[in-house]
Chain A
């Protein structure tokens, strides 16, 4: 189910190659993820769960959830959603736990540019999404040497999947497509003392700002004088019977499949959630030639912007508010879904059940900030519902409670790319202020004020209500616990 024609995207794919799946010969494009190649070939079941032997497909498509583990060339527990396909690979559906091959593990050859000990960098930025890149630009312009580290093969974070034109004001790249904003940011970095290391996961942060990195199956150590955590967010799951069936995918995963890999997630999709993400992804599905049976929303109103809702409705897709999904149907993968109306207490109303004929259920039910690294470093945290969950406590200047460690973007509370960019800028300025004692304080204060005012403008209005409330709580917490300005 490859997408042949797309109104916006052209898919640059690697050469067609052969690989083996459970003994069958299949073809795919070199370099695409194994899971995408299998999906394109119609394979949805990637493994069976350890305890209950339930079929599992992929879910997050960003190497977080472990749903897609398979045995690749004899090595078990390989995350196929982020592992690139190579010619001749032997890919097997994994049943149960892995068996380690009885062969000596051979490391990939060492890369002379990346010794085990990478030395010290003044500013390490984790995550090359809009927040991380903007932080690097702000700090780099003031002369701070930075390294931006991202686990993906290409920098840009969520932006690399956003084919739609962004909302917001002009100076924050409104009307530019997300995919192009990433390019703009990368261009700005070119002349600055900033290096971007992709394909590299920050495994852990340790005392004295030591970073443990994993790159090409090799371990590296990097020390830093300051750290900005711009790790973004992870997709929320929803619990309903059969929600673990292959074919129940996160919205981000659906975007990755269709906008990055050019593979249709299914033929007919039920979208859960009418926030901006649910609406945008529904529209993108339609653009990719996939049918959307309905968008189901628990709240009595549509959460996302009306421009996005209007586009979906115009295409004939019903948006059913005060509705929920009751269960997914199917045994090996999704073959349908049952939805129903709910009352104001969110209880299903009997007699309103409707069965939908869909092969994919897409969950767009919110995101949770990625706070693990800060947590490991001992950053104090708080649960703030308006920000999407647990976040490291941070002051107005985005400093956490650990000296020299800052946070920005979705990691500091779920918002948008536009606010992520400004937060990134602010965090970069704060870090620069700490690292460069000779910096002109007035100039720094002016730049910080500019970014803070930009954030205030973006958060004004009814759609910024959550963010405003969340950040207000955060400042109170930071005040109590002594996070900086």
Chain B
């Protein structure tokens, strides 16, 4: 039987939702229910590339990312589970004058924040990091060896199990149909299995956060976009870093099991809910991969799939309490990089939900920023 009353309800069983549930319970709020419409990791989380990067172009993002990697590196011990965390680095390729100029600025900023990141020449890339890479057209690259990756399914399951151990109840296959409010305050959520009364609701439903927020009269400026991705047969490890290029829009890495997983963002992708796969993606992505890593030509692709980016106007997440609806918190709009910052963001959101002062100020990420004037975008988005 699902609880009919709880101290807090979390909507969404992706990496962020399960992590928030865990940190809330760890902080003492154990009477929580997490409600997931489908199964754990069924949303963007289970479809993502699992990359964890600290190389960002703004100070705030870089700091948050550094903190997240710190959390990730102790997470296996903390949660008592293998999440395939690997610090294999990120190699970011520059192809244009614009790339070069931006990357030089980024590296200066990142080094200033204490990040071990360096600029490599094309020869240094093949001599020191990835011998198999085709560096035709590559002007330079930035390389941060402590950038990482992890398995999103294992991470989410680890958070969920740790949360359960602390008393959190997780209801799967239970869509939330409405957030209930009275006099500007949250009173509960209505689900397919009944209503849960609660004064605190955290909306962590990815792109679906928008229709959920709308039931409480809240408008979130999030646009859903499909992003596609594919995976090859497993091979013995032959490269370590996540390799990305903003100008090619591509990223790929080799996971522990041995498969190479990667995708690219189609700039012409129309907005909308769509998780289907296209043949155009398969062919374009294969030729991009074969160009960058000629050895991959003979490798079989075993699967492709699509997932949703929940894009905000400044490609930054929306975090914190909602103006006008007391007790209604948002954690969405991760704009394609929600996995890498999940541990730290979830911890901070849990602190805010529990009424504590967060270790890092996240008020700059409140939805109200969009009402306050123009926003600035981080340029390091794939």
Contact = CB atoms under 8 A, between A and B. Distances in A.
Interface of A: 50, 75-77, 96-102, 104-105, 204, 206-207, 210, 212, 219, 221, 376, 378
B234 A97 contact: yes
Nearest to B305: A376
Contact of A104 (B233, B234, B276, B297): B297
Given A206-B278, A210-B279, A101 B236 contact: no
B299 interface: yes
B227 to A, nearest CB: 17
Q: What are the 6 closest A-B residue pairs judged by CB atoms, nearest first?
A: A105-B298, A105-B297, A97-B258, A206-B279, A97-B234, A97-B236
B113 to A, nearest CB: 38
B273 to A, nearest CB: 13
Contact of B235 (A97, A204, A210, A378): A97
SS class of chain A's interface: helix, strand, loop or mixed?
Answer: mixed
A271 to B, nearest CB: 33
A86 to B, nearest CB: 17
Contacts of B235: 76, 97-100
Given A101-B298, A376-B277, 19 more contacts: A76-B235, A77-B233, A77-B234, A97-B235, A98-B234, A98-B258, A99-B235, A100-B238, A100-B295, A102-B295, A105-B298, A204-B282, A206-B279, A207-B276, A207-B278, A212-B279, A212-B282, A221-B279, A378-B276
Contacts of A77: 233-234, 300
B249 interface: no
A221 B294 CA distance: 23
A221 B277 CA distance: 15
Interface in B264-310: 276-279, 282-283, 294-300, 304
Contact of B298 (A75, A97, A221, A378): A75
Contacts of A75: 298
B277 A100 contact: no
A63 to B, nearest CB: 12
B86 to A, nearest CB: 16
A104 B293 CA distance: 11
Contacts of B238: 99-100
Nearest to A79: B300
28 contacts: A50-B234, A50-B257, A50-B258, A75-B298, A77-B233, A77-B234, A77-B300, A97-B234, A97-B235, A97-B258, A98-B258, A99-B235, A99-B236, A99-B238, A100-B235, A100-B238, A100-B295, A100-B296, A100-B299, A104-B294, A105-B297, A105-B298, A207-B276, A207-B278, A210-B279, A212-B282, A221-B279, A376-B277
Interface string B222-243: 0000000000011110100000
A46 B233 CA distance: 18
A98 to B, nearest CB: 5
A221 B279 CA distance: 9
Contacts of A76: 235
Contacts of A101: 298
A50 B259 CA distance: 12
A98 B259 CA distance: 10
A305 to B, nearest CB: 40
A37 B298 CA distance: 25
A15 to B, nearest CB: 29
A323 B234 CA distance: 39
Contacts of B234: 50, 77, 97-98
Contacts of A100: 235, 238, 295-296, 298-299
Contacts of B297: 104-105
A100 B298 CA distance: 8
B279 A204 contact: yes
A329 to B, nearest CB: 30
Given A96-B236, A97-B258, A204 B277 contact: yes
B47 to A, nearest CB: 15
A359 B262 CA distance: 44
Contacts of A376: 277
Contacts of B296: 100
A171 B258 CA distance: 53
Nearest to A98: B235
B305 to A, nearest CB: 10
A423 B235 CA distance: 42
A263 B298 CA distance: 32
B277 A206 contact: yes
Contacts of A98: 233-236, 258
B142 to A, nearest CB: 27
A100 B283 CA distance: 21
A397 B259 CA distance: 42
Nearest to A211: B279
Contacts of B299: 100
B175 to A, nearest CB: 18
A437 to B, nearest CB: 29
Nearest to A106: B298
Contacts of A105: 297-298
Contacts of B283: 219
Nearest to B286: A219
A101 B257 CA distance: 19
Nearest to B303: A204
A212 B281 CA distance: 12
A64 to B, nearest CB: 13
